[in-house]
Amino acid sequence: MDLEYKGDYQLKLEKLKKLSLEPKAAFNKIFCPSCATEVPATNLNINDKIAKCGACNVVFSFQETVNNLFTNPSKVKQEIIRPEGIDLFYFKEELDITIQQPYSGLEFLMAFCGLLFGFLFTMIAIKKGGSFPPMAAIFFWLMTAYPIYSWSRHAKNKIYININERLLNIEWRPKKGTKDQSYNLQDIDQLYIRKNANSGLFDVQMIVNGIEGQKHIRLIPSLDNLSKARYLEQEIEKHLGIIDREVLEEIKA
């Protein structure tokens, strides 16, 4: 009898070892947030993610439930450690982020054109026997002064992001032709990273809900390091309580 029991136990043990440990697909029911009544499928608008409770007639969105269904529980997103060049400061409910400004492509273009045309007009003046470069040459030589000065002070050029209880504010100092921007937190839907095919640099993009629909805004452009971009996305979404999800336009790496 003992041998028979032992054999049956071993058979069950072997069957348990063969069971798949992979997580099963997630299925969610929709419940009314007002009265907790289960909402039938006939009261769900799948396209607009809007439901109506048959018990208390409350209309509500179940977008977050749908988003959770698309989140793969078996795929754990790697936590990014703070890279060099980014400073974070928390005070009460606010978050301040300081980033070093990326080098501007416009400044490189200005320096290149200034050097090229300044040299060209100077050589023309020398060949014509002039003792002093013409005004055109002086203008282009001076045009190279600004980017050179800016590069010499690059360590002091910062981007400041402040997130308070109502707004996300972003400022460039010096501005370099950029305007200060503010966005309502309730309108921010998602952040993602996009790679610029021409420069190979990384942009932090933000999806903002508006009256006319969603807008994709380039929050921070031209980061030379993917870890910096991922870290900024991670920390801003974490602070705002945004569940990260895939966006069609984002880089998959």
pLDDT per position as a tens digit, 5-37: 445 555 555 554 444 444 444 456 888 888 888
pLDDT value at 4 more than 90: no
Helix (H, G, I), strand (E, B) or coil at 150: helix
Element (H, E) at 170: strand 167-173
The sheet with strand 167-173 has its strands ordered as 86-91, 94-100, 158-163, 167-173, 181-184
Interatomic CA distance for residues 154 and 157, integer angstroms: 5
Cα gap 142→103, rounded to integer Å: 20
Determine the Cα–Cα distance for residues 253 and 49; give it in Å rounded to an integer: 30
Residue 85 gets the label, from left (phi > 0), alpha (psi -120 to 50) or beta, of left
Q: Who contacts 160 (Cβ-Cβ below 8 Å, separation ≥6)?
A: 96, 97, 98, 169, 170, 171, 172, 173
The Cα 15–Cα 221 span in angstroms is 55
Up-side HSE of residue 206: CA atoms within 13 Å toward CB? 26
- What distance in Å separates the CA atoms of residue 80 and residue 91, rounded to the nearest whole number? 22
Structure tokens at 154: 């690059």
**Residue 190: in which H helix or E strand, if any?**
strand 188-195
More confident residue, 83 or 101: 83
Q: What is the pLDDT of residues 222-246, one digit of tens each?
A: 898 899 999 999 999 999 999 888 8
Phi, psi of 196 (to 5 degrees): -75, 120
Q: What is the spatial distance between Cα 247 and Cα 214, in angstroms, rounded to a whole number?
A: 13
Angstrom distances, CA of residue 129 to CA of 121, 122, 125, 126, 132: 13, 11, 6, 5, 9
- Which band of pLDDT confidence, cut at 50, 70 and 90, is reported for residue 178? confident
> Average pLDDT, whole number, for the chain?
79
pLDDT of residue 182: 96
How many C-beta atoms lie closer than 10 Å to residue 238's C-beta?
12
Give the domain 86-101+157-240 fold.
Answer: PH-domain like (2.30.29)
**pLDDT greater than 90 at residue 103:** no
**Per-residue pLDDT tens for 54-64?**
998 888 888 87
Measured CA angle at 30 (ends 25, 34), to 5 deg: 150
